[in-house]
Structure 1
Amino acid sequence: MGRANLNVTLRPPIVGDVVRQHVEQAAFLWAQRDTLMVTDLPDLKAVAGIDKRLEANLDALRIAGSASWPFVLAAYEDFPQKGELFLFTWLAIEQADERRIAEAVELGRRFEDAHGVVGALTWHKPQTIGPLVRDWIGGHDAFQRFLGVSACMGHKVDPKQMLARLIRDPEMRVRSVALRLAGTLKRTDLVTEIAICLDDVDEPPRLWASWALTELGSGDLAIAGLRKVAVAGGPDAMTALRAAIKAAPDQDVRAWLGELLKSPETAPLAVRASGMLGDRTLLHWLIRQMRVPALAVAAGTAFLELFPEAREDGRLFSVETLLLGQAFADHFDDDPPFLPVADNVKDWAKQRNLLD
């Protein structure tokens, strides 16, 4: 008898319960990551920790290969949310499965922002998604154009001469992302086209046109619009606030913030903005604001922006009303968010000679 051929690649056995756990964990971790990244002043160290855990789970699904699909499909069917959409799209691209990629695009149309699809495109390397993006970004399908320009934004890839056309796209979401991309890439050659978008019929493109002009050194054209969006307090308020501060001279910014402080409705915005000034001498003033329940959230975030190293000290923030005081218990109905403990922050600052 001849010797048996031992040159065989053995595939590791697939344990369904284990694959299911990896699917659930990957979807949950990416959704958690996405939520963290859109908060005001995200904790990038925490995000980096999530990324490592997420990649470990994705590696397990790479090993499982096509055996992952029944669990990914079941997860999306049971809970069709952004994390599950991310995983569906990621696996389709990972396996270069054209049919599944097309399904992911159709599923993404059901979401206003399609974060799951965009997140998967961003997670993959540019060379992996390049053929898809090139096909989508110049196509007739508005949603695919949105995905294409969003992928460029996620990877900071310049679509060159096509970007001017995308800024004028009929689809509002395409225009918005294209304007953001132009500012991110410092496309000064597009200033004229961007300035025209200050009169866009839709607010999101107007905001991103204002933001882009600020990034390109022409923010004086956009200050009024940025301040209006910031004060309105919508989902883009912090983006507008940061751009408004960057767009104007420091003296003008401080005068504007002083006016905002005079009103209880806009005072929290002014306190939050103080952290964007880069002025650490404001610490003593910020500690005083931490003692005011209505301003404490804004004061705490401003403090962390000026002193990011303070994140390492777990004593500086708390949800315990015994530490925060009765005024906070009353203001937040005994359920305060994570707030700065003013006395602890003061002690922390004194130990580091920051209040001299």
Structure 2
Amino acid sequence: MLAKPLKADSSSIVVSEVLRQHSELVAFLWAQRDTLLNEDPPDVKVAEEIRGRVEVNLDGLRLAGADAWPFVVEQYRNFPEKGELFAYSWLAIEQRDQRRISEALELGRAAEDDARGLIGALAWHDPRAIAPSVRDWIVAPDSFRRFVGVSACIAHDVDPRQMLVRLIQDPDAKVRGQAARLAGKVKRSDLARDLQAALDDDHQTVRFHAGWALAELGAGTLATEALRNVVEGAGPDAQMALRTLVRSGDDAALRGWMGGLMKSHLTAPIAVRGIGMLGDRSALSWLIERMREPIVSAAAGAAFVELFPEARNEKGLFSTDPADAGPEFTEYFEARLVNLPIADKVVAWARNTGILGD
């Protein structure tokens, strides 16, 4: 249970307001940064600028010590989202408060986003500060704690050595997936056979991370086949699987295979998105034509921004109102929230900047 927030007396109104602002800004700015890093494509430059602002406000909480807790607790009660969980978890770890850390774990367990705020706080801290907890979590009977522990290892490129063998074979699919991902990240080539076995896992996410890890280990054909299967399944990991293939595959063969993906409504958006990953700026005219097709328009817009990041903040090139792209877009997207490129505006921008001829 969360402790009740304390009431500030009249003599501490100013201090209380400063602490409240620090707490709110930590939550807001970290959540904003996390969202930017998870956009397609991510806005890394702005996210890095925000990082400094997060750190300034964390210093405010750090200096306040235990006095910051009433504000952190209150804001989580009022708005239990990822940024607020980050602030709660970060302060608990900063103060090495085991009771609060346990509370943060339970709050993370209840979250619907795989505890992004909790894992973000673990990633933000120095690995030495979280090492004792992580060592306990990766061997815990509780699968959620094992998941959090492996996720912390991923964030800091820490190899749990022999324990990683057991984690790849964990009873919990989320733990297995993260363990496979960690094996690739820390280049555990001795686990190649375990990763190959994971390609037949019942869970698609485990298969994806195993294929990704094998690609990181240079497994060639085996990894390519597994990752292509993930892309063709058009599941939540399809785009990341395609990016891995682009990074490690034969360009000509990849383009031919992507052409086949265009023949299915299910995989066509993934193929269009892949054009941006290939880095071929000469494909702009083709992408603009795809922007006029509702089914692949959002993917074409994301590919465009990846190829031309200078256009990201140009006004008028994108709209969250499908009607701006045409009546067929309104019918196709209905009430869905989407940020669509406006093809005619993109053409005008490209001509004004000399990227496209008249």
TM-score surpassing 0.5? Answer: yes
Does 2:152 match 1:151?
yes
Q: Which runs of 5+ in 1 are unaligned?
A: 1-11
- Give the partner amino acid of 1:290: M
Instruction: Report SS of the residue matched to 1:314.
Output: coil
1:299 Cα deviation after fit: 0.8
CA distance 1:199–1:338, shift in 2 (3 Å): closer
**Does the 8 Å contact 1:220/1:248 carry over to 2?**
no
Aligned runs of 1:174-193 on 2, under 5 Å?
174-193=175-194
**Does the 8 Å contact 1:349/1:355 carry over to 2?**
yes
**Does the 8 Å contact 2:258/2:271 carry over to 1?**
yes
Instruction: Report SS of the residue matched to 2:306.
Output: helix
- Give the partner amino acid of 1:266: T
**RMSD of Structure 2 on Structure 1 (CA):** 2.7
Aligned runs of 1:49-198 on 2, under 5 Å?
49-111=49-111, 113-198=114-199
Aligned runs of 1:322-333 on 2, under 5 Å?
324-329=325-330, 331-332=332-333
Aligned runs of 1:227-246 on 2, under 5 Å?
227-246=228-247
Aligned partners of 1:54 and 1:267: how far apart in 2? Answer: 39
**Does the 8 Å contact 1:287/1:345 carry over to 2?**
yes
* 1:293 corresponds to: 294
- Give the partner amino acid of 2:280: D
CA deviation string 1:249-302 (max 9, x = no partner): 223322222122223343222211111122222122112222323322111111
Aligned partners of 2:250 and 2:341: how far apart in 1? Answer: 30
CA deviation string 1:41-74 (max 9, x = no partner): 2111232233233222222211221111112222
**Does the 8 Å contact 1:328/1:336 carry over to 2?**
no
| Greater Cα offset, 107-116 or 83-92 | 107-116
| Greater Cα offset, 29-38 or 84-93 | 29-38
* 2:37 corresponds to: 37
| Greater Cα offset, 36-45 or 135-144 | 135-144
Aligned partners of 2:160 and 2:242: how far apart in 1? Answer: 28
Identity score, percent: 53
1:206 Cα deviation after fit: 1.3
**Does the 8 Å contact 1:92/1:100 carry over to 2?**
yes
**Does the 8 Å contact 1:319/1:335 carry over to 2?**
no
1:210 Cα deviation after fit: 0.9
* 1:3 corresponds to: none
* 1:254 corresponds to: 255
- Give the partner amino acid of 1:24: E
1:306 Cα deviation after fit: 1.9
Does 2:281 match 1:277?
no
* 2:347 corresponds to: 346
CA distance 1:247–1:317, shift in 2 (3 Å): same
**Does the 8 Å contact 1:109/1:143 carry over to 2?**
yes
CA deviation string 1:316-339 (max 9, x = no partner): 334467864555455445988433
Instruction: Report SS of the residue matched to 2:161.
Output: coil
Instruction: Report SS of the residue matched to 1:41.
Output: coil
CA distance 1:78–1:348, shift in 2 (3 Å): closer
How many residue pairs match? The answer is: 345
- Give the partner amino acid of 1:98: Q
**Does the 8 Å contact 1:328/1:334 carry over to 2?**
no
CA distance 1:321–1:235, shift in 2 (3 Å): closer
What TM-score do you get using the length of structure 1 for normalisation? 0.85
